[in-house]
Amino acid sequence: GGLYISQGNKLWYLPVSGGTPGTMQEVTVAGLDAIDADGISWDDANNALYYATNDTGDPANVGTVYELVFSDATTASGREVATGLDDSSGLWYYENDGKRYVYVLESQFGALFGINGFEPPFNIAIIELGEIISSVGNLLEETSNIIVSPNPFNQITNFEIELTEGGDFQLQVFNLKGELVSNQKVKMSQGINSIYFDGTALNSGIYNYRLVNNTGFKSGKIVIVR
């Protein structure tokens, strides 16, 4: 549904729908003051992003790996996974035999600037993250069911939402530019819930919806016809 980009010590999300980019949105990250990603790899099952960072101009800051776990596309919590790496750059998230790993390139890039030498080895560090736990970052995707009827619709439609656990939710609707055009805050209970959506003020076209709570999100499309 989009791209993550590191720029200006911040993380940005660029939504993409049907090949059309939307509006760049800043990602709010709890637990980290700055995001300077030199390499990015995504763990789809856990809604997690891993990245490496380094400062080739500072021999004391030779490389660190971080983890971001997302509750929705633009909200995440971050933590440090490993430090003390040698000029870390690219990395790769990998699963094997029930375990999770990050493979990190220690490129010794600082050698090009005379900060350290070209002593071997040029290394790939393997960091074990632990056992595979499916979908810990997006439980809502697996534990909810959404039926939109009618769809397409002219003015008003109904979201029938089946939940295994109730609570506070947001029903968000975005246009194809990634702009938020509607945000309903609703409290729902376990079982089947109905939410009416009024699209009278919106133009004809395709829109993306997202049901969000603190365990993740579930998304889909609606179509308005006039």
Tens digit of each residue's pLDDT (9 = 90 or more) over 170-185: 898 888 776 778 989 8
pLDDT value at residue 74: 87
Output the average pLDDT for the chain: 84
Q: What is the mean pLDDT of residues 11-29?
A: 89
Question: Please, which pLDDT band fits residue 36 given cuts at 50, 70 and 90?
Answer: confident
pLDDT value at residue 152: 95
Q: What is the mean pLDDT of residues 36-62?
A: 78
Residue 155's CB: how many other CB atoms inside 10 A? 12
pLDDT value at residue 17: 82
Q: What is the mean pLDDT of residues 90-100?
A: 87
Q: Please, which residues bridge with residue 194 across strands? A: 160
Please tell me which residue, 187 or 135, carries the higher pLDDT value.
187
At residue 137, does pLDDT exceed 80? Answer: no
For the entire predicted model, the pTM comes to 0.58
* Long-range contacts, 105-111 (Cβ 8 Å, 24+): 105/39, 105/52, 106/63, 109/54, 109/56, 110/56, 110/57, 110/59, 110/62, 111/87
Question: DSSP 3-state assignment of 112?
Answer: helix
Q: Could you give the CA distance from residue 128 to residue 100 in angstroms, rounded to a whole number?
A: 6
At residue 135, does pLDDT exceed 50? Answer: no
pLDDT value at residue 117: 58
Q: Could you give the CA distance from residue 142 to residue 216 in angstroms, rounded to a whole number?
A: 10
